[in-house]
Amino acid sequence: MTSRESYTQQGNKGFEAALEQRSAAREAAFFLPHIRPAMRLLDLGCGPGTITLGFGTHVAPGEVVGVDFQPSVIERARTLAAQRGIPNAGFEVADIYHLPFPDASFDAAFAHAVVMHLREPVRALTEVRRVLRSGGLIGLRDPDLAGGIRFPSTPLSQVYAELRTRVWEHNGVNTHVGRKHRRLLVDAGFTRTATGASVESAGSLETCQHSALFLKAQLDGIARTAIVEGWIDQATVDAIAQDIDGGRSSRTPSQPPSCARRSPGSTPSELRRSRRARRAPTAAFCIQTERLYTNQTARFAKEASLERVCIQNEW
Ligand SMILES: C[S@@+](CC[C@H](N)C(=O)[O-])C[C@H]1O[C@@H](n2cnc3c(N)ncnc32)[C@H](O)[C@@H]1O
């Protein structure tokens, strides 16, 4: 990590636990068709490594190496690899700007929700290119917050959304990096780039609950910076957390819970639905989020004359 960088969620155990829900099948779906058995694959900023472990089965008898600059997540990833019996997945503490690997030592590299956190993404991607062999492949996936839709909106959810953007930008996060993938990769020397997009939506009880848990897990990291900077107080952070939960406990009447904001209506079935919503053990089912991601694959050729930049899907 460069001295100018500060990762918003550093040491946030709840957030790390939430990341364990991620998988290669879901988060790397666009990249898996490019992965072949016997490849050596590098997963950058791997966190607790659940995406990395998914790659393990795809590259066998090759290997996948996950790197992250936080020792605690690497320790957790090693534990999960042992528990899940994935012997061809290794994990190392490493900074993406200074990878401890020789030139041309990987066939492919992947980074999920990592480039957005880097103040110098081109410098980092240039370092990744160094460890890729000629013809090697990189896959990136990052959100572009301009694609986010959240419903229903409450005053506190708006406070949270604005605070999250403010904290992220303060900490060097590029909230619109998704649209810039191709440019960053080309600037770092990659060629034959191709960009796609995917949307994560939460439209069922289970996915809404998952989405709410993720938002709540993120809150601790966001609040840490915001309180230090004097942008928010702990009481408001607690109120935001309750709002994500659906405002179950000590909400004042002036701040109706997100699920109960809509007027209950007058028909018996509407009233029944409204009562059920207030009784629910968690009201998070009323939160829907959609987040637009861009997915990027690019090839790297050491002999530039063999390759040409292929401009597709210009944003
Ligand atoms: C949002 S998490 C994503 C983790 C994982 N890729 C996933 O999607 O589940 C971002 C990860 O990048 C790591 N990270 C941030 N900056 C880094 C750097 N300079 N070098 C290595 N890892 C870094 C963080 O420690 C964190 O685990």
Report the CATH number at residue 298: 3.40.50.150
Q: Is residue 224 part of a domain?
A: no
Q: Is residue 314 part of a domain?
A: no
- From the CB of 32, is ligand 1 less than 6 Å away? no
Tens digits of residue pLDDT in 84-132? 999 999 999 999 999 999 999 999 999 999 999 999 999 999 999 999 9
* Residue 122 identity (one-letter amino acid): V
Q: Is residue 45 part of a domain?
A: yes
Q: Is residue 6 part of a domain?
A: no
> Which atom of ligand 1 lies at the shortest distance from residue 20's CA?
9
Task: Give the strand pairing for 40-44 and 106-112.
Answer: parallel
Measure Cα distances from 129 to 34, 126, 188, 259, 295 in Å.
17, 5, 8, 48, 18
Q: How far is the CA of 252 from the centre of ligand 1 (A)?
A: 38
The total number of structural domains in the chain stands at: 1
User: Would the pLDDT of 47 be above 70?
Assistant: yes
Put simply, whether the predicted model's pTM sits higher than 0.85 gets the answer no
- From the CB of 80, is ligand 1 less than 6 Å away? no
Q: Is residue 247 part of a domain?
A: no
Give the structural domain span for 93.
13-142+174-198+294-305
User: Would the pLDDT of 35 be above 50?
Assistant: yes
- From the CB of 117, is ligand 1 less than 6 Å away? yes
Mean pLDDT across the chain: 81
Task: Give the strand pairing for 288-300 and 191-201.
Answer: antiparallel
Q: Is residue 298 part of a domain?
A: yes
Sorted by sequence, the CB contacts under 8 Å of residue 278 that are 6+ apart come out as: 257, 259, 260
Q: Which tokens go with 97?
A: 């700007």
Say how many CA atoms lie within 13 Å of 300 toward its Cβ: 26
Q: How far is the CA of 91 from the centre of ligand 1 (A)?
A: 13
Counting residues of the chain whose pLDDT is more than 90, the rounded percentage is 60
